[in-house]
Amino acid sequence: MQIGSAAFRVAVTLALPALALLACHLLRPWLDPTYDPLFIAASAITAWLCGIPYAFACVLLSALALDYFFLAPYNSFELLDAGAQTKFFLFLGSNSIIILLIHYARSAREAQTASEMRYRSLAELIPFGGWVADSSGNMTRISASFLNTFNITMEECRGLGWTRLLDEADRKQVLADWKECVRSGYFWDYEYRLRNAAGEQFVVLSRGIPVPAVRGKHRTWVGIHLDITERERSTEQRVQQARDLERFNAELEQFAYVSAHDLQEPLRMIASYLQLLSRRYQGKLDAEADTFIQYAVEGAERLKSLLQDLLQLQQVGKANRVKVKAPLTDAAIAAENNLSVRIAATGARISIEELPTVEYDLDAFVKVFEHLFENALKYHREGMTPEIHVSAAAQNKQIWEVRVRDNGIGIPAEYQERIFQIFQRLHPRSEYPGTGIGLAICKKVVEVHGGHLSVQSTPGEGSVFYFTIPAIRGPGA
């Protein structure tokens, strides 16, 4: 018969009153006139083992046995005597109270056990689980997952034995900090490295709080162990990757600078001698030789422009350039003056509205306007005078948006993001000359100043380049 089954409970409910009845008969000389205790004990045991329904069934059987054998008139279920009636009903009442008290005690114990099991199971779900320490800081319980990971027993961890897992160099400091935390009653939050018997190292985050006792001044400590080994490894890897990337970028920038800067001198010499050949031997060699020399001169000039643009792109945002608080109009007008010859040659009309006063690198934004103006002049529509209009509007109190509008050939929608990438060209060099770096320089200058560069365009109708720049904050804005 399985303990806890219905058959077991029925058997207990029937057997205990019978045993109580037998004991009362055997002990009758000593129990007379009180036979209640043995029947009460039977009901109480049934209540604890089997529950309320079986306990009341036991009470009913015990009451019938008490009435029939031990209350006058004997061997009868009649209750004629007032004293017997009182005793009978007191028996029923006292048994009912005892059964209810036992039921509540049993329910409380089961709830407490279930609660402990839930919290213990929850603690085991946490990597390395939970721990409990007494008021002196000595470990009294550590989760099984922790013990299994470090191949150590609870007896070995008990007290301060767990500290043997610490690195020798850290042990003294961790112990001192733990004892101070226990003394002061502060929240415990500590990271340390532990090694198991196999020499594997784990990074553990230990957290704990003091739990005051219900009575008295003594308290216990409860906490958890978190395995943060992978997090620490990932952090170390990210830091190392960031360092490697930073070093690679620095080497790449150095290479770009050397390539763009140091190659200019030999290129200048090559271009000079090619130009000298062109002037000296123009017409003295055959037409094919003149063409070859002209190609070489043009190639040297394109390479020179390319290296200059690369150097300019590489230098954007690198040097501690002085920023001025001035109207952006100054940069736009300076760019217009620098391009005055080309503007006059094309007959272009440029109108510049009053632009906001901001803090910016004047030389860098002169280059931005130059590239935008040059694009408008270069990509103008055949038979139409180039027109360029520069204006600005406040997006909010913190951002200005500057617009450079032209009436050129426009840009197809699928290429409007691509044009800001380095070396991206939409047209053959023979049709529209250039290095393909100008808009990349503009984008980088704007972004270094905390803004964003974009374009809206319709083929055949022109383009509008937008860039944002932060407004001046604080006094003097």
**Does the pLDDT of residue 228 top 60, yes or no?**
yes
Percentage of the chain modeled with pLDDT above 90: 11
pLDDT of the residue at 215: 60
10 Å Cβ neighbour count for 91?
A: 21
Looking at the structure, tell me whether residues 276 and 166 fall in a common domain: no
Domain end, chosen from 272, 291, 315, is at: 315
pLDDT of the residue at 405: 93
> Each residue of 205-221: pLDDT tens digit?
888 888 876 565 567 88
pLDDT of the residue at 126: 61
Q: What is the mean pLDDT of the chain?
A: 79
Both tokens assigned to 180: 């101070």
* CATH number for the domain harbouring residue 392: 3.30.565.10
Per the structure, the complete domain to which residue 146 belongs is given by 126-227
Task: Give the model's confidence band at 316: pLDDT under 50 very low, under 70 low, under 90 confident, else very high.
Answer: low
Is 251 part of any domain? yes
How close are the terminal C-alpha atoms of the chain, in Å?
91
- The least confident of 67-81, 106-120, 141-155 is 106-120
Round to whole Å and give the CA distance between 10 and 46. Answer: 10
Domain end, chosen from 227, 259, 278, is at: 227
10 Å Cβ neighbour count for 394?
A: 11
Looking at the structure, tell me whether residues 309 and 336 fall in a common domain: no
pTM above 0.85, yes or no: no
> Each residue of 237-292: pLDDT tens digit?
676 766 766 665 665 566 555 555 556 666 677 777 677 777 777 777 777 777 77
CB within 8 Å of 310: residues ≥ 6 apart? 256, 259, 260, 437
Domain end, chosen from 103, 122, 141, is at: 122
Looking at the structure, tell me whether residues 286 and 348 fall in a common domain: no
